[in-house]
Amino acid sequence: MIATKIFQHQDYELHCGASAVDNGRFVPTLVVSKQVWPTRPRTIAMQRGDFLTEETAIDAAYSQGVEWIRNYG
């Protein structure tokens, strides 16, 4: 099961998620979409990390998304 939260930052929408792994921990997922044309969604590769809760994994995805926007947006 994947928990997902959607955030808006500047002109972008961040779909931050957390998916469960075998040992009861979570890994973050991130998709960034521009809110104006072109709106092509981009799946951002996340560094593999095991987080104890869904919330911490989602927070890590959000931080990575804001950094991606700052560097490439």
Identity of residue 32? V
46 pLDDT more than 90? no
Please tell me whether the overall predicted TM-score, pTM, comes out greater than 0.85 for this model.
yes
C-alpha span between 59 and 39 (Å, rounded): 23
Tell me which residue range forms the domain holding 14: 2-72
Report the chain's terminal Cα–Cα distance, integer Å. Answer: 30
Q: How confident is the model at residue 22 (pLDDT cuts 50, 70, 90)?
A: confident
* Whole-number pLDDT of residue 49: 75
Better-predicted residue by pLDDT, 3 or 59: 59
Predicted pLDDT at 1: 59
51's CB contacts (< 8 A; 6+ apart) are 18, 25, 26, 27, 28, 57, 60
